[in-house]
Amino acid sequence: MSWQSAFACWLLKRQMRPETAKPTLDVERARTYASRRIWLPRVPKGWRLDIEPDGEWLHRESAARDRRTVFYLHGGGYYFCSPRSHRAITFGLATRADADVFSLDYRLAPEHRFPAALDDAVAAYRRLLASGIDAKSIVIAGDSAGGGLALATLLALRDARVQLPASAVLFSPWTDLTCGGASMQANEGRDPMFHASVFPRVAALYLGDADSRDPYASPLFGDYRGLPPLLIQASDTELLLDDATRVAKIARETNVDVQLQIWRNVPHIFQIWAPFMPEARDALTQAARFISTTTSAGNAQRPPITSMV
């Protein structure tokens, strides 16, 4: 455990975790907090950031044709955060994987409940294909709620018989909106970011009257047959650990190529602490390697189904 990870966990325990113990969600407070992040990464040299009505693109200025593309879905419990708040991840993936990144600004709850975010993600992916981008060069990725949304988007695209992307990268995905994972109890008090009691409240905010077991909302309950390769990264201390491990188990049982990396003593979506935290840098580098491998003709040696980092 690096001192940077220890510092991040200490800070989250002081600033973030007490907020999640409150009996009600303060949507505007969360959105204000996310929009006022003091530190934001600069646009990397040689890259261009284009802000569009439905998201933002990070392009290499001297982009070659037929480049790989990462389609990114940010986390934030479906009710706060944005492409801007997650640039540490998207910029890190772009530069490491040498990929254009489109980060979607999907509609948020409670103004827009399920399935608004899913509808936006499916429509945005279809637009990528319609613009001439080859599905085999696209990787869908996301963190936390965005990781669950990325997996749900794969299910919806497959069911609609749309050509699927080459692979998916899921950082600490929230895949079970019933909040039924054993780690919700086992890691209560160990997770530096959340109390378990916050998750049912966030799920209700997004779901409204929808069924929490609907696979398009909780992709843990979906059929994974025919999905592309998955890379899943999670922390051993986070409440959502089982949302990652159970997906990996189901994927393996349905012959989906899956890599599960469990990192020790790091916070939920620790990748967002790049470049400050060495574990975050390493995780993004490994994700970029997976992106490069799955969008090329190469057949590089892959690590075991589960690895502890």
> What token pair was written down for 227?
């999905």
Place of tokens 């378990």: 196
Q: Are 2 and 283 within 8 A, CB to CB?
A: no
Report the distance separating Cα 257 and Cα 138, nearest Å. Answer: 17
Amino acid occupying residue 174: W
Pick the catalytic residue from 56, 103, 238, 279: 238
Active site residue 111: no
Pick the catalytic residue from 82, 144, 183, 235: 144
Active site residue 5: no
Pick the catalytic residue from 74, 167, 212, 268: 268
Report the distance separating Cα 236 and Cα 163, nearest Å. Answer: 34
CA angle 190, 194, 196 (to 5 degrees): 85
H or E segment at 153? helix 145-159
Active site residue 268: yes
Using a 10 angstrom Cβ sphere, with 0-12 exposed, 13-18 middle and 19 or more buried, the burial of residue 276 is middle
H or E segment at 197? none
DSSP string for 8-36:
HHHHHHHHTHHHHTSSS--HHHHHHHHHT
Q: What residues act catalytically?
A: 144, 238, 268
